[in-house]
Structure 1
Amino acid sequence: MKLGKTAVVLGGSAAGLCSAGALAPHFDQVLVLERDELPAAAEHRRGVPQSKHPHFLLNSGRRAIGALFPGFEDDLIAAGGLHLMPSMDAAYLDGQGWSARKRSAMTMIYSSRILIERVLRDKVRGLPNVAVREGVTVTGLSTRDGAVTGVHVDGEHIDADLVVDAMGRGSSVSGWLVAAGWPEPEVRTLDAKVTYTSRWYELPTPRPPSWWWQHLVIMPTPDKGDHPAEHEFLVNLFPIEGNRVIACMGSWGLDMPRTTDTFVESAARVRTPLFAAAMARCAPTSEVHLTRSTGNKWRRYDRLRQPPRGLVFIGDAICAFNPFYAQGISSAAGSALLLREHLARADRLDAAFIARFLAGQRTLLRVPWSLAMARDQGYECAVGTEKPPEWRRRLLAAVSGPAFSFIVGAAREDDVVDEHFAKVFNMDESLSQMLRNPRMLAGFLRHYLRKALGRQRVPFDFDARAEPPATDYSAAAAR
Structure 2
Amino acid sequence: MWEKAIVIGGGFAGKLAAKALSSYFQQVNILEADREYKDPVPRKRIPQSYQPHVLLKSGEEAIEKLFPQFTVELLEKGSIGSNFTRDLKWHHFDFWKDRFKGDLNMVQQSRPMLEWQLQKRIDKVSNITIRYETMVNQLIINRKENKILGVRIKSFKTGMEEELYADLVVDASGFGSKSIDWLKAYGLEVKEEKVWIQLFYATRLYRLKKQERLDWTNLLISPSFPENHNGAFIQTIEENRFSVTISGYANESAPQTNEEFIAYAQSLPVPDLINFLYKAEPISDIKIHKIPYQVRRRFDLAKQIPEGFLVIGDAHCRFDPLFGQGISVAALEALELQSFLQQTTRLDTGFTRRFHKKIAKLIATPWDMAITEAFRHPNIKGKNSILLQFKLWYTKRVYQASAHDPFIYTRLARVMNLIRTPLHLFHPKVVIPIVFGWKKKV
> TM (normalized to structure 1)?
0.85
Give the letter aligned to residue 426 of structure 1: N
Give the letter aligned to residue 216 of structure 2: W
Deviation at 1:414, TM superposition (A): 4.3
Q: 1:449 to 1:174 in 2, by over 3 A?
A: closer
Give the letter aligned to residue 208 of structure 2: L
Deviates more, 1:318-327 or 1:255-264: 255-264
Q: How far apart are the structure 1 equivalents of 2:256 and 2:394?
A: 29
**Native 8 Å contact 2:297 2:317 kept in 1:** yes
Deviation at 1:372, TM superposition (A): 1.2
Q: How far apart are the structure 2 equivalents of 1:407 and 1:259?
A: 38
Runs of 4+ in structure 1 over 4 Å off: 221-224, 390-393, 447-451
Q: How far apart are the structure 2 equivalents of 1:400 and 1:39?
A: 46
Q: 1:173 to 1:221 in 2, by over 3 A?
A: closer
Tell me the residue number matched to 1:191: 196
Give unpaired runs (5+ residues) of structure 1. Answer: 225-230, 455-459, 462-479
**Native 8 Å contact 1:32 1:131 kept in 2:** yes
Tell me the residue number matched to 1:388: 383
Give the letter aligned to residue 355 of structure 2: F
- Aligned to 1:216, which of 207, 219, 225? 219
Q: How far apart are the structure 1 equivalents of 2:274 and 2:134?
A: 43
Task: Confirm whether residue 76 of structure 1 aligns to residue 74 of structure 2.
Answer: yes
Deviation at 1:397, TM superposition (A): 9.6
Tell me the residue number matched to 1:464: none
**Native 8 Å contact 2:138 2:151 kept in 1:** yes
Tell me the residue number matched to 2:432: 445
Deviation at 1:420, TM superposition (A): 2.6
Q: How far apart are the structure 1 equivalents of 2:395 and 2:138?
A: 44
- Aligned to 2:296, which of 282, 295, 298? 298
Q: How far apart are the structure 1 equivalents of 2:392 and 2:31?
A: 46
Task: Confirm whether residue 234 of structure 1 aligns to residue 239 of structure 2.
Answer: no
1:166-185 to structure 2, matched below 5 A, reads: 166-181=172-187, 183-185=188-190
Tell me the residue number matched to 2:157: none
Tell me the residue number matched to 1:413: 405
Q: 1:420 to 1:402 in 2, by over 3 A?
A: closer
Q: 1:294 to 1:57 in 2, by over 3 A?
A: farther
**Native 8 Å contact 1:84 1:109 kept in 2:** yes
**Native 8 Å contact 1:375 1:396 kept in 2:** no
Q: 1:390 to 1:349 in 2, by over 3 A?
A: closer
Q: 1:428 to 1:98 in 2, by over 3 A?
A: closer
Tell me the residue number matched to 2:424: 434
Give the letter aligned to residue 21 of structure 2: L
Q: How far apart are the structure 1 equivalents of 2:342 and 2:387?
A: 43
Q: How far apart are the structure 1 equivalents of 2:201 and 2:390?
A: 22
Deviation at 1:108, TM superposition (A): 2.1
Deviation at 1:106, TM superposition (A): 2.4
- Aligned to 2:132, which of 111, 131, 134? 134
Q: How far apart are the structure 2 equivalents of 1:404 and 1:418?
A: 8
Give unpaired runs (5+ residues) of structure 2. Answer: 155-160
- Aligned to 2:248, which of 251, 275, 300? 251
1:52-451 to structure 2, matched below 5 A, reads: 52-144=50-142, 145=144, 146-154=146-154, 155-181=161-187, 183-207=188-212, 209=213, 211-221=214-224, 224=227, 231-253=228-250, 254-383=252-381, 387-389=382-384, 395=389, 399=393, 402-409=396-403, 412-415=404-407, 417-431=408-422, 433-435=423-425, 437=426, 440-446=427-433, 451=438
Give the letter aligned to residue 196 of structure 1: Y
> TM (normalized to structure 2)?
0.92
SS at match of 2:211: coil
Percent identity reads 27
Deviation at 1:367, TM superposition (A): 1.4
**Native 8 Å contact 2:109 2:237 kept in 1:** yes
**Native 8 Å contact 2:35 2:133 kept in 1:** yes
Task: Confirm whether residue 34 of structure 1 aligns to residue 40 of structure 2.
Answer: no
**Native 8 Å contact 1:9 1:19 kept in 2:** yes
SS at match of 1:25: coil
Give deviations 1:64-94, integer Å, cap 9, x for gaps. Answer: 1111111111111112111101322122223
Deviation at 1:8, TM superposition (A): 0.6
> How large is the Cα RMSD of the aligned pairs?
2.2
**Native 8 Å contact 1:294 1:321 kept in 2:** no
Q: 1:448 to 1:396 in 2, by over 3 A?
A: closer
- Aligned to 2:23, which of 21, 25, 37? 25
Deviates more, 1:90-99 or 1:38-47: 90-99
Q: 1:261 to 1:25 in 2, by over 3 A?
A: same
* Paired positions, count: 433
Deviates more, 1:104-113 or 1:48-57: 104-113
